[in-house]
């Protein structure tokens, strides 16, 4: 998919929001939604945005889209554009951050924005961090599985 076909595909979006209602990333963060992503693609004439990296490429959005807009394909193409411009996010950096989050708090994604924190507080979610005992067990599992080189990898990210 090249830029013009990508924009043609994006123009089929009705902005109905069905995609956002099924998106796991949209549920995890208030800053991402496939609907906003599609609007951004059209408004910026295909200029990629940082939100592209929050898409899990799970195709849940495409499954419920009344116009069968291939959002994951658009995201992949936009990511290619970023990579070509040297603006990609390091996969290793992302995975190490996820692993650090799991070990420190027990969740894959730590809320990074005040918006997410205030939502969590308003809903009284009381997400507690993992106990030291559980974190230590996770560390043992990771060490046992051969990920002892984690510290060395951090220097490469």
Average pLDDT over residues 94-99: 67
Q: Give the residue, 92 or 135, on which the prediction is more confident.
A: 135
CA distance to 18, 34, 65, 80, 96, per residue, from 156 (Å): 40, 32, 40, 22, 11
Question: pLDDT tens digit string along 45-57?
Answer: 656 666 777 888 8
Can you read off the two tokens belonging to residue 20?
Answer: 């956002």
Right CATH for 3-84 from 1.10.1060.10, 1.10.630.10, 3.40.640.10, 1.10.645.10:
1.10.1060.10
Domain ranges of the chain: 3-84, 91-156
- CA-based angle 62:54:57, to the nearest 5? 35
Distance CA 95, CA 108 (A): 10
């Amino acid at each position: 998919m090249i830029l013009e076909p990508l924009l043609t595909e994006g123009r089929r979006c009705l902005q109905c929001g069905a995609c956002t209602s099924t998106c796991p990333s949209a549920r995890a963060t208030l800053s991402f939604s496939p609907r906003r992503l599609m609007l951004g693609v059209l408004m910026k004439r295909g200029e990629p945005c940082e939100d592209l990296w929050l898409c899990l490429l799970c195709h849940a959005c495409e499954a419920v889209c009344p116009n069968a807009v291939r959002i994951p394909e658009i995201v992949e193409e936009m990511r290619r554009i970023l990579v070509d411009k040297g603006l990609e996010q390091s996969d290793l950096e992302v995975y190490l951050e996820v692993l650090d989050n799991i070990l420190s708090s027990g969740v894959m994604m730590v809320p990074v924005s005040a918006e997410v924190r205030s939502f969590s507080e308003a809903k009284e979610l009381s997400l507690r961090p993992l106990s030291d005992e559980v974190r230590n067990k996770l560390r043992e599992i990771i060490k046992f599985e051969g990920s002892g080189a984690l510290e060395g990898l951090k220097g490469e990210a």
